[in-house]
Every structure is written in C-alpha cells, then in structure tokens.
Amino acid sequence: MTMTSQQAAPQTANAATPAARKWQVAEIEALFELPFNDLLFRAQQVHREHFDPNAVQRSTLLSIKTGGCSEDCGYCSQSARYDTGLERERLLPLDEVLENARAAKAKGSSRFCMGAAWRGPKDKDLEPVIDMIREVKALGLETCVTLGMLKDGQAEKLRDAGLDYYNHNIDTAPEFYGQVITTHTFQDRLDTLDRVRNAGINVCCGGIIGMGERRRSRAAMIAQLANMNPPPESVPINNLVAIEGTPMAESEQVDPIEFVRTIAAARITMPKSFVRLSAGRQQMSDEMQALCFFAGANSMFYGERLLTTDNPDTDRDEQLFAKLGLKAI
C-alpha cells in the first residue's frame, strides 16, 4: 500500500533500529550492475512502500558565510587554498537571512538550509547562527545548518535552538577520501555525525558523484550511509559541479544513466530516507531529473542559487512539476 507523505515523515532522530540490515559493498555493486529497467523497477517498488511516489520535498539553501575556509576539499570553491575568484564574505546579518527565508517559504520551500564556510564553528560563531535558527523556525520552516565539524557540546546548543537537521556529508567512500581531502579525516566526519545523532538532531548526510571515483567507490559510499544506525533521514546526492581553480576542475562528468543508478541504489538501501537531488541539477535535463524521481529521489534543492553555484530557477521547476504531475511536500 502506498503511504502518504505525512505517514512517511522521517523517523525520529536517535531511533536506532536494533536489527538494521548491514549492506555489503558487493551487494550494492550488484545493484548497479542490474539491467537499468530492472533496477528502476525495484527502486520504484521500494519507494512506493514508504512514500507517496508523486510528492517531492523542497529545500532552499543559503550561504550565510561565504569563502575563506581553511580546508582543502578538492571540489570546493570556498577553500582559501584555491583561486576560484570567490570573494571572502562575513556572516550575513539576521535580517538578510530572514528576508531570504521568507522568500523561500513564499515560493514553496518547506525547509531552509544555512551553510557557513568554516572548518568548524567557534562557540562565539554559534551565537548568531542560533538566533537565525530560532527566527527561521518561527516562520514555520524546517531548519538545517551545515557549519563544518562540531566540538563537544555544540550540537546540544543547536538542538536547544530548535534545529531540525544538521548536514555533514561524508562526500565519498572511506578508501577514496584521501584523494579528495587531506586536512581532516573520514573519521572526523563520522565523529561530528555521532555528536549530531547523540544530541537528537536529524542527520542530513550524503556525498558527491563525479570526482574521479570508480563505481566501487560509489557503492562503498552508499554502503557507509546505509549502514549508519539509523541511516540519515536526508541523503543529498550531489553531481559534481567542476569549478575552475579547484583541483577537480577538469573532472570528467559522470554519465547520466550512472547517476540515476546511484539514486536508485540509495533508494533501495535506504528505503525510509529522503533522497535529495542536490548540486548539479542545473546541468540536468528534464528527462534526467524525471528518471531520478522515478528511481526514488523525493527531495530537491529549490531556488536559483545553492551555496556558490547556480540552480534551476523556480519557474523551470514549477513547469517540471506540472509536466510530471508532482506535488510539493
């Protein structure tokens, strides 16, 4: 029986499943290797067991502090180590954040995500962000922030402000991580995720496709996500936007069918999670996005701008929703 979007709300943070299945990388590789129609049929069956197949959650993302990050993430325009032409900016004032949040809600977003280019916030950095969380939540929007690595006690402060989701992507598979980032470890990422989960905040965690990884690394990344207990409530799958000046500026674009396969594998292995189309949607055709939705994607970033890259304008998305008969959650 198909569940409604209301019935399929994310499970409560910290509600670990005692008998959670452990996915092996080889099993997920086998999913990738299925005939395309068989893979999508299986993914759609799983999707319909847990969600309304024609409902998509829409989030808007705002950079509240841009540029100047000390990390060396090879894909990121905001690293101070690379010359990408991006100007370093200070934290946005509260009134400007709220203006953007009101506009996002008016256009149909249900979640407002705020990102700051920090290795991790200092305690004094959290104070204005906490005000943003409280005020955005008061507008009737779900709140999400991505602030980098958290120290002990910081997740609890964010929880007490009413934060709904904390985003901290694992980016890629553990064995490929060192080819993407060297200034912190994969375990550092997991430590922050543990702090978020232990504080009772919903986890938003996914990765990036198209950084030169092989299919096995894509399967291993999905296994890492699916084997979290519980899996992330929200799983953003990013299609790399190659940015001039970064080490990955010349990365070869992933074949669209391979990207859709990745979405399907995420849906099958994380049946209760919202799987989000994230960065790279500007370069996707309507047909590719339609296949992603059929494969189990049921969340998207909505609005003309992500942190530092373009996103389809809302008119185009409204037209796509109308063509596909989709409704917003």
Catalytic annotation, pick one of 111, 189, 197, 204? 204
- The pair of structure tokens assigned to 319 is 């037209």
Catalytic annotation, pick one of 42, 58, 76, 281? 76
Q: What angle do CA 72, 155, 188 make, to 5 degrees?
A: 35
Whose CA is closest to 168, among 176, 184, 182?
184
Catalytic annotation, pick one of 42, 69, 197, 267? 69
Give how far Cα 90 sits from Cα of 64, 157, 168, 245, 268, Å.
8, 22, 21, 22, 41
Catalytic annotation, pick one of 58, 144, 189, 267? 144
Q: Say what the alpha-carbon torsion angle 259, 272, 47, 7 is, to the nearest 10 degrees.
A: -140
Instruction: Answer yes or no: are the C-beta atoms of 85 and 325 closer than 8 Å.
Output: no
SS3 290: helix
- Active-site annotation holds for 144: yes
Catalytic annotation, pick one of 42, 73, 218, 281? 73
Residues 6 or more apart whose CB falls under 8 angstroms from that of 114 comprise 61, 62, 64, 97, 129, 132, 133, 136, 143, 144, 145, 146
Query: Distance between the two ends of the chain, CA-based, in angstroms?
Result: 19
Cα separation of 105 and 100, whole Å? 9
- Active-site annotation holds for 204: yes
- The pair of structure tokens assigned to 153 is 């006690």
Whose CA is closest to 14, among 177, 153, 191, 199?
199
User: DSSP letter at 183?
Assistant: S
Catalytic annotation, pick one of 42, 58, 111, 113? 113
Whose CA is closest to 251, among 289, 279, 282, 211?
211
- Active-site annotation holds for 113: yes
Catalytic annotation, pick one of 111, 261, 276, 281? 276
- The Cβ of residue 282 has, within 10 Å, a number of other Cβ atoms equal to 15
| Residues catalogued as catalytic | 69, 73, 76, 113, 144, 204, 276
